[in-house]
Amino acid sequence: MATDAGRSAGEGPDLSVVIPVYNEQDSLPVLVEELTRVLDGLEMRSEVLFVDDGSVDSSPEILRRLKKERDPRIRILTLARNSGQSTAFVAGFRAARGGIFATLDADLQNDPADIPSFIASLRDYDMVCGWRKNRRDPWLRRFSTHVSNGFRRFVLKDGFHDTACSFRVFRRECVEGLVMFDGMHRFLPTLVKTAGYRVGEVVVNHRERRYGEAKYNIRNRLFKTLADLFGVFWLRKRWIRCRIKGEE
């Protein structure tokens, strides 16, 4: 993966928060207020990279205003067209300058107040993933995620409770050199674990969507996610794990 050439010791932020945004105009001011409070309390330099995934509401103007008036740590990356959450994450990772990445949704369902405990867990792990143990979504969403999580665990035997949760904190190395594909954001913990990193989970606070609407539903997720699952199954089977016995 291409990385930012300008990153060097002592320069730039320690933490890059990457947030995909697709039509989240009403959530953004609240999110920035919450995030600013949390980031101010961290002993780290940080940047907040909003990746605007082709929003057609007022999200772009609101982001520009928040950057100017609320928090200069904000950077705004605008994708040419709506490309999906995975693409938005990858664009963000490529532009991010920190040594640690945090990812979360823009719709206020993830609580930025969880970020410090994620960062503390990095003492033992390279990537820490959120687990929405008490998920606040309509029952059909909860049920479909429950079934798909169970099926994924059965097929991949990866042991993760909730890989559909995008709230994660990890060292940038975890995603450097990783195969990136549309849909990969749902398999990131599995892929990073397969690549040999230590991946853990923390229970996170989950909140109801306050504004706007969910972009993903069973119809637009089911078949794509199933195809991706078998793709990841294949990739794990064929992953090259060479152990060098010696060199003379």
CA distance 157 to 65: 45
| Interface pick for Mg ion out of 25, 109, 148, 166 (rule CB under 5 A) | 109
| Interface pick for Mg ion out of 107, 162, 201, 228 (rule CB under 5 A) | 107
Nearer to Mg ion among residue 107 and residue 114 (C-beta): 107
In the complex, the smallest distance separating the C-beta of residue 107 from ligand UDP, rounded to whole angstroms, is: 4
- DSSP secondary structure code for residue 227 in this structure: H
Read off the tokens for 118: 């994620």
In the complex, the smallest distance separating the C-beta of residue 5 from ligand UDP, rounded to whole angstroms, is: 26
Read off the tokens for 37: 């409070």
In the complex, the smallest distance separating the C-beta of residue 209 from Mg ion, rounded to whole angstroms, is: 6
Q: Please choose, from the candidates 108, 88, 220, the residue with its C-alpha nearest in 3D space to the C-alpha of residue 167.
A: 108
- Residues touching Mg ion, count (CB under 5 A): 3
Nearer to Mg ion among residue 31 and residue 232 (C-beta): 31
In the complex, the smallest distance separating the C-beta of residue 182 from ligand UDP, rounded to whole angstroms, is: 10
Nearer to Mg ion among residue 24 and residue 201 (C-beta): 24
For position 46 contacting Mg ion by CB under 5 A, the verdict is no
CA distance 133 to 114: 14
161 Cβ neighbours under 8 A, 6+ residues apart: 131, 133, 149, 201
Nearer to ligand UDP among residue 7 and residue 209 (C-beta): 209
Among the residue ranges 6-14, 41-49, 103-111, 194-202, the one whose residues contact Mg ion (CB under 5 A): 103-111
52 Cβ neighbours under 8 A, 6+ residues apart: 21, 22, 59, 60, 63, 76, 77, 78, 79
By CB under 6 A, name the binding residues for ligand UDP. Answer: 20-22, 24, 53, 82, 84-85, 88, 105-107, 109, 214-216
Q: What's the start-to-end Cα distance of the chain, in Å?
A: 32
Nearer to ligand UDP among residue 20 and residue 125 (C-beta): 20
224 Cβ neighbours under 8 A, 6+ residues apart: 183
Residues that bind Mg ion (CB under 5 A): 105, 107, 109
